[in-house]
Structure 1
Amino acid sequence: MVDLRPVLYTLGSLIALLAVGMSLPTLADFVVDNPDWQTFAIALCLTAMIGGMLMLSTRGSGENLNLKQAFLLTTSAWAVLPAFAALPLAFSELDLSYTDAYFEAMSGLTTTGSTVITGLDTAPPGILLWRGLLQWFGGIGIVVMAVAVLPMLQVGGMQVFRVESFETAEKILPRAAQISGLISGAYVAFTSLCMIAYMLSGMSAFDALVHAMTTISTGGFSNSDSSFGKFDSLSTDTICLIFMILGSMPFILFLQVIRGRPLALWRDEQTRGFLLLVAFLCVGVTIWLMVFKNFTLEEAFRYGSFNIISVLTGTGFASADYSQWGAFSASLFFVVMFIGGCAGSTSCGMKIFRFQVLLKSMRSWIEHTLQPNGVFIARYNGRPIPDDVRASVMSFMTLFLGIFLILSFGIAATGEDWITSLSSAGTAIANVGPGLGDKVGPAGNFSGLTDAAKWMLSFGMLIGRLELFSVLVLFSPSFWRV
């Protein structure tokens, strides 16, 4: 039987930290005399009480987690925290149902960016700040998990990064906790720089703060129903584009740059592949909009690059309704949403490195088929790709597509059309945000879906954010055996 005490103690600590975060929107609403400050205060006290009780009742249970406990904590944290984060949303003046509030909170903490809230332009500042904080907390949580937890759990090929993170040959600092602390510092620094840049481009301080948090976390929550279309500014769009790209690159490599290895980012095969893909998509979409949609060069680059990279990185901001650009753009955006950014970033999707591992493995198999007596070794970052990494990557990608299809059929069973079903399922499991079509596209939101569909999509966001196996392993009877 799994000893739950260390898991509950750590979970209690995370719940208590979430309560501390609620103090900021409480103060924001109190300053402007919005009655929702009382809702946040009550939710804060309730959350802090439960978190504190869990910590006190399991105190002294030990700090080290074994493999099973790590799996259980990873999933329970991302499933339970939205339940508490939803409380101020459910009881605020927005008058959301608990289903809608949980969906919004899950979308925030998983940095998905799908929303059920309308009237964001006139929403209370506390709610807007809380949505931004949820994505910001979720973003740093994902980065730390990708560095310290997923390589240990060997989820979906992530063990390939265990060498770079912790083995002696490539170790940056001696302990994972120190690495996580430095990554958090870089995360805060990028957020601050993004906020300052937004303010210089003309944003108000509050808008700049919230959008900086949701940009660097590649989350995509905005303070306006029209997202970045509200600002209609080339400089603002460009700043967002730059920081979306930065947020989608491995944060651990930024530490190497700071420590005197300025070419670390470019020498990393994953980052190099990601940047080349970004350049290819920006140029390709720009040319396509100019040739087939009669956009000017500036319009094509500004709207095309911003929106395609927003989808690729899983941020989900929109500066235009790209679902109205025709069938080709809809198909391209739909495919791109599954790719995602780099492992070790706040981005989502399948991740660039898995496609690279798959392509290198296919190439070595083809070469071996043509020359059976030859020795062909697939390499990643100069190292041979272990067989277990290849198997993990292929299993992950197969399972990812399988769950996507199951989730799509589940949404369709609630009465939705296939465009809505496929795109909403894809955007949930890939943690992107907006889907396609009039209902869940960049000009709409998810409020029109049934409660059953929202719960299914909430599970899809959870399982997609935690790399599938971290969640599914809990459904195995053998996991719970001694």
Structure 2
Amino acid sequence: MLLDFRPIVFVTGVLLSMIAIAMLVPTMVDLIVGNKDWQVFLLSSGFTMFTAGLMILTTRQESKSLNIRQAFVMTTMVWIILPAFSALPFLAADALNLSYTDAFFEAMSGLTTTGSTVVSGLESAPPGILMWRSILQWMGGVGIVVMAISILPMLQIGGMQLFRMEFSDRIEKALPRAAQIGTWIFAIYIGLSTICAYLFWLAGMTAFDAINHAMTTVATGGFSTHDASFGYFQSAKIEAISTIFMILGSLPFLLYLQLLRKDWKPFFEDTQVRWFFGILGTAIGLMTGYLMVQQGYSFLESLRHTSFNVVSIMTGTGFASTDYSLWGAFAMPLFFLIMFIGGCAGSTTCGIKIFRFQVLFETARTQMRSLLQPNGVFISYYNGKPIPEQVSTSVMAFFFMFAAIFALLAMALGLLGMDFITATSAAGTALANVGPGLGEMIGPSGNFSQLPDSAKWLLSLGMLLGRLEIFTVLILFTSHFWKD
């Protein structure tokens, strides 16, 4: 039986209509300030809504759940179609003068919450464009959480089924319907964003900056309204607020549901959360000591800059309070390493995710114990429960494919003329959805505008692969997937 694309196109049309509605927000922003780009957003919204309407009306049918093959196709299709239409305002805005390649790169970077940008002169950019960049990351952030909770566990991608097993008993008994869980997650997401914006405003940001940075902070996205990112504000208080909310965005959102139900125990007992804070604290401690000893920073100054930038890079947010590429030889390897780690599963963060490192560690430890006692029976555990063999296999396969694609992407960028640091960090930052890379060109003080178009398309593919956990996309290129 051939694959039925009607439900796939229908769902994509519904999500595309949400993008069209979201475009009306920057339309109003530009209209209020008297910027002519409001027409660009209105026309883009109209065209997007027209296309979405056609997709919905021509494929509407009786309610029917997606099978696993349709879910794979739909997930990838959505994350290609939405950036394609989200790029229209960037393309049509006179002030930006972007090609479609640049516009698509910016939109893909936004929706995948990567944070890499080709736009410079942000201070002089139209407010509607700045708002649109932030909205894309905010929508992408909540979309990633919902996808990690409902879709990827079903597809058994990279060990994500373990995450579903962890929470199914505790959450689904209280909120048995997926729609209820999604509604609560969205409410928590809005609540965190609102509180973050209010605190930014109290700390000295303008209302416009506070709203934009709150959206991109909670989404761990990294887009800013200023070229200097958080370095523009020169405020320890603002950096501290951002650090806290980047961390909150990096924790499993289902744990917040349990907190609301006054169940605090899982939050403190979850080994994924403990590992996250352990790795984060170690990286901050090492970098703080290094800056004090080698760079002559005071303790408070070192702790301030280290905490913000280490949290930003590890969570894949990509904000910068200073040019950390000038911190010396130790800083670059450390930042390059932690950019791959990411946060917890079921959060807005990117990267490999903490739970996969836990599964890999437990599997390796069990293997070493088996070498010492060949006749013994040893079982790997995660959060006190045995790790199913298929989860261990899936996680190890994910690590292999992540490393292989990173190497291939870096080599391809090298063939396009990039130096080693630029090519490897660009590949890493795209696949891990971090944002800025390393080096003068794409580091925290630069952007991706100088790269050739072919490199931007490759990096857009890298962002897509990284955000959809690699296998979701790659499986579509296998002949077995399309067989009846």
Same topology, TM > 0.5? yes
Counterpart CA distance in 2 for 1:344 and 1:370 is 36
Most deviating of 450-459 and 407-416: 407-416
Most deviating of 262-271 and 383-392: 262-271
Counterpart CA distance in 2 for 1:76 and 1:102 is 15
The one-letter code of the counterpart of 2:32 is V
Out of 353, 357, 360, the residue aligned to residue 359 of structure 2 is 357
Counterpart CA distance in 1 for 2:216 and 2:173 is 30
The answer (yes or no) to whether the contact 1:43–1:88 under 8 Å persists in 2 is: yes
Counterpart CA distance in 1 for 2:48 and 2:143 is 19
Counterpart CA distance in 1 for 2:238 and 2:461 is 33
The answer (yes or no) to whether the contact 1:22–1:40 under 8 Å persists in 2 is: yes
Q: Is 1:302 the equivalent of 2:304?
A: yes
* Post-superposition offset of 1:167: 4.3
Q: Is 1:40 the equivalent of 2:41?
A: yes
User: Secondary structure of the residue that 1:60 maps to in structure 2?
Assistant: coil
Counterpart CA distance in 1 for 2:71 and 2:110 is 23
Counterpart CA distance in 1 for 2:83 and 2:397 is 29
* Post-superposition offset of 1:169: 8.4
Matches within 5 A, 1:200-219: 200-219=202-221
Name the counterpart of 1:89: 90
For normalisation by structure 1, the TM-score amounts to: 0.99
Per-residue deviation, residues 70-112 of structure 1 (Å, max 9, x unmatched): 1111101011100000000001021110000000000000000
Per-residue deviation, residues 328-373 of structure 1 (Å, max 9, x unmatched): 1001100110111000000000000000100011111111110112
Most deviating of 371-380 and 192-201: 371-380
Most deviating of 324-333 and 7-16: 324-333
Per-residue deviation, residues 41-77 of structure 1 (Å, max 9, x unmatched): 1100000000010000001153411101111111010
The answer (yes or no) to whether the contact 1:172–1:179 under 8 Å persists in 2 is: no
Q: Is 1:469 the equivalent of 2:433?
A: no
The one-letter code of the counterpart of 1:66 is N
Name the counterpart of 1:370: 372
Name the counterpart of 1:387: 389
List runs of 5+ in structure 1 lacking aligned partners.
none
* Post-superposition offset of 1:172: 3.7
Name the counterpart of 2:327: 325
Q: Is 1:253 the equivalent of 2:258?
A: no
Counterpart CA distance in 1 for 2:247 and 2:74 is 30
Name the counterpart of 2:19: 18
* Post-superposition offset of 1:181: 1.0
The answer (yes or no) to whether the contact 1:198–1:239 under 8 Å persists in 2 is: yes
Name the counterpart of 1:233: 235
Counterpart CA distance in 1 for 2:18 and 2:217 is 22
Counterpart CA distance in 2 for 1:169 and 1:311 is 31
The one-letter code of the counterpart of 1:137 is M
* Post-superposition offset of 1:176: 1.5
C-alpha spacing 1:170/1:324, structure 2 compared with 1 (3 Å): same
Out of 189, 203, 212, the residue aligned to residue 191 of structure 2 is 189
The one-letter code of the counterpart of 1:17 is M
User: Secondary structure of the residue that 1:436 maps to in structure 2?
Assistant: coil
Name the counterpart of 2:61: 60
Number of residue-to-residue matches in the alignment: 482
Counterpart CA distance in 2 for 1:132 and 1:170 is 32
Counterpart CA distance in 2 for 1:263 and 1:151 is 24
Name the counterpart of 1:401: 403
* Post-superposition offset of 1:285: 1.1
For normalisation by structure 2, the TM-score amounts to: 0.98
Counterpart CA distance in 1 for 2:188 and 2:266 is 16
Counterpart CA distance in 1 for 2:170 and 2:306 is 43
User: Secondary structure of the residue that 1:440 maps to in structure 2?
Assistant: coil
Counterpart CA distance in 1 for 2:463 and 2:207 is 30
Counterpart CA distance in 1 for 2:188 and 2:330 is 38
The one-letter code of the counterpart of 1:332 is L
Name the counterpart of 2:155: 153
Counterpart CA distance in 1 for 2:451 and 2:140 is 24
* Post-superposition offset of 1:171: 3.8
The answer (yes or no) to whether the contact 1:378–1:384 under 8 Å persists in 2 is: yes
C-alpha spacing 1:99/1:169, structure 2 compared with 1 (3 Å): closer
User: Secondary structure of the residue that 1:149 maps to in structure 2?
Assistant: helix
The one-letter code of the counterpart of 1:451 is D
Counterpart CA distance in 1 for 2:172 and 2:181 is 13
Counterpart CA distance in 1 for 2:88 and 2:129 is 11
Most deviating of 277-286 and 50-59: 277-286
C-alpha spacing 1:210/1:12, structure 2 compared with 1 (3 Å): same
* Post-superposition offset of 1:165: 3.6
Name the counterpart of 1:432: 434
List runs of 5+ in structure 2 lacking aligned partners.
none
The one-letter code of the counterpart of 1:472 is L
Most deviating of 346-355 and 263-272: 263-272
Q: Is 1:175 the equivalent of 2:166?
A: no
The answer (yes or no) to whether the contact 1:166–1:176 under 8 Å persists in 2 is: no
Per-residue deviation, residues 259-279 of structure 1 (Å, max 9, x unmatched): 011132121111111011122
Name the counterpart of 2:32: 31
Counterpart CA distance in 2 for 1:284 and 1:20 is 46
Counterpart CA distance in 2 for 1:254 and 1:146 is 15
Aligned-pair identity in percent equals 54
The one-letter code of the counterpart of 1:239 is I
Per-residue deviation, residues 360-399 of structure 1 (Å, max 9, x unmatched): 1111111111011222111001110011000000000110
The one-letter code of the counterpart of 1:19 is A
User: Secondary structure of the residue that 2:72 maps to in structure 1?
Assistant: helix
User: Secondary structure of the residue that 1:437 maps to in structure 2?
Assistant: coil
Out of 339, 342, 351, the residue aligned to residue 340 of structure 1 is 342
Most deviating of 8-17 and 324-333: 324-333
The answer (yes or no) to whether the contact 1:172–1:256 under 8 Å persists in 2 is: no
